[in-house]
Amino acid sequence: MDQKVFEDVDRYISDLFIKPDEALAIAEQSHQLENLPPINVSPNQGKLLHLFAKLSKAKKILEVGTLAGYSTIWMAKALPEDGRLISLEIDPHHAEVAKKNIDRAGLSSKVEIRVGKAIDLLAQLVKDNTTPFDMIFIDADKPPYTEYFEWSLKLSRPGTLIIADNVIRDGKVLDKDHEDPMVKGAQRFNKALAANSHVSATILQTFGVKEYDGMAIAIVE
Ligand code: SAH
Ligand code: DHB
Ligand code: MG
């Protein structure tokens, strides 16, 4: 099996299961048009996040790392009428592009983008004593993933679903001596997740139209 088959099958699945959606299509294109890195989740991964949000009956979702709001829109579309999503983003340009995309998707009343360093914004949410989130998607810079996860636990309740993207990095996590800080961040996070007695977790390998990677899936106990 080669990469081309994985890509073709990924498109075969999305053609079957994803209805054409103008707002999502424009959000996807905005990475190129607005000069953002094309590191959004793939369409099928977006659909998976959408299904996870529905499965967890999420009314309150937290996202760490907004970019153009592509994954944001997928998750927010799963929210009920009174549902809310807060997404944290350090780059004001990314946040601005995301706001436009979220507006276009008709989701601006449900989605709030907070601009700043994720660590500070997470600490502020804890300080504000916000009610726990039902689902948390971690997808910002990789080196502090373990810290994002620890803050996420403080913002959770038993049953909260925590998902972290990019934890396999093309299989590079197997190399204990890897120098890349993103790989090191994923290795440290995976180890901490596995050792944490407050969650039950696994990692789903992801491949297809995006680079071979993985998503950690954890439920708070
Ligand atoms: N979730 C998006 C992709 C996010 S890419 C999607 O799938 O569509 C990662 C994002 O995290 C980028 O927009 C980047 O600017 C942001 N980011 C990087 N470091 C950050 C930090 N320290 N705090 C908050 N956001 C950060
Ligand atoms: C990178 C970040 C992501 O969130 C992703 O899904 C793929 C790649 C990166 O920074 O390389
Ligand atoms: Mg990612």
Report the atom number in ligand 1 closest to the C-alpha of 144. Answer: 22
Report the atom number in ligand 1 closest to the C-alpha of 68. Answer: 8
pLDDT attached to residue 1: 74
What's the CA gap between 40 and 27, in Å, rounded? Answer: 10
Q: Please provide the average confidence, as pLDDT, over all residues in the chain.
A: 98
Average pLDDT over residues 49-65: 98
Determine if the pTM surpasses 0.95: yes
Average pLDDT over residues 188-217: 98
What torsion, rounded to 10 degrees, do the Cα atoms 212, 196, 157, 127 define? -90
Long-range contacts, stretch 115-118, CB < 8 angstroms, 24+ apart = 115/89, 115/90, 115/91, 116/88, 116/90, 117/90, 118/64, 118/65, 118/88, 118/90, 118/144, 118/148
Domain count, the chain: 1
Ligand 2 site residues (CB inside 6 A) read 39, 139, 165-166
Average pLDDT over residues 23-48: 98
Q: Which two tokens stand for residue 167?
A: 């934890």
Task: List pLDDT tens digits, range 125-147.
Answer: 999 999 999 999 999 999 999 99
Determine which residue's CA is closest to atom 11 belonging to ligand 2. Answer: 39
Closest CA to 184 of 213, 143, 146: 143
Percent of the chain with pLDDT over 70: 100
Report the atom number in ligand 1 closest to the C-alpha of 91. Answer: 15
Closest ligand (CA of 49)? 1
Mutate to test the pocket of ligand 1, among 52, 89, 135 (most ligand atoms within 8 A of CB): 89
Query: Which structural domain range is residue 10 located in?
Result: 3-220
Task: List pLDDT tens digits, range 156-166.
Answer: 999 999 999 99
Task: List pLDDT tens digits, range 185-195.
Answer: 999 999 999 99
Confidence of residue 10 (pLDDT cuts 50, 70, 90): very high
CATH assignment at residue 168: 3.40.50.150
Closest ligand (CA of 216)? 3
pLDDT of 5 above 80? yes
